[in-house]
Amino acid sequence: MPARAPKRFKNIMKTPPTSYLLQSIPSPLGPIWLAASDAGLRGIWFEGAAASARFFRCSHLAARRASLLASRAQIVQRYFAGEGVLPDASLPFDLQSGTAFQQAVWQALLRIPRGGSTSYGELAQRIGNSAAVRAVGAAVGRNPISLLIPCHRVLGKDGSLTGYAGGLDRKVALLRLEGVLI
């Protein structure tokens, strides 16, 4: 049976009452929480990244979502084992918590290859709105499915490290795991 979210997550979950399934898995960088709705994977976040957890409400288990979480947990564990496996776009994500603009940014993040990186400005250009650099940065920061929608691959325009909901130490570790030299 999947673990329940820590109490500190339950107090900040502000989405409408929808049923989500939560599961915690270990990783070399600390516990990772996964959440699924009937529509697909709703979120992945490192424990302690409360900003991402606000999307989720703990609820009853459902077999379909449990199966979805088990497959995503396996993908995350294979990623940390160095297999470099991340899902393709055919795997169901539930991104309805985001605006159309945020969803466009999150889709653009999926196109950053493993071992690659981009800047907020380049990402803004990729979605056809080069003037929206700050809005792109805000959308990247609201990415509910960190790691699988690889927001950790976004750097400052000069290649510098910028924020990451899981913490900069984890961002550095993820980039190094993928072969990006920092």
Active site residues: 151
Is 119 strand, coil or helix?
strand
User: Which are the contacts of 123, defined by CB distance < 8 A and separation ≥ 6?
Assistant: 105, 108, 109, 136, 140, 154
Distances (CA, A) of 149 to 91, 124, 164: 12, 16, 13
Contact 2, 66 (CB under 8 A): yes
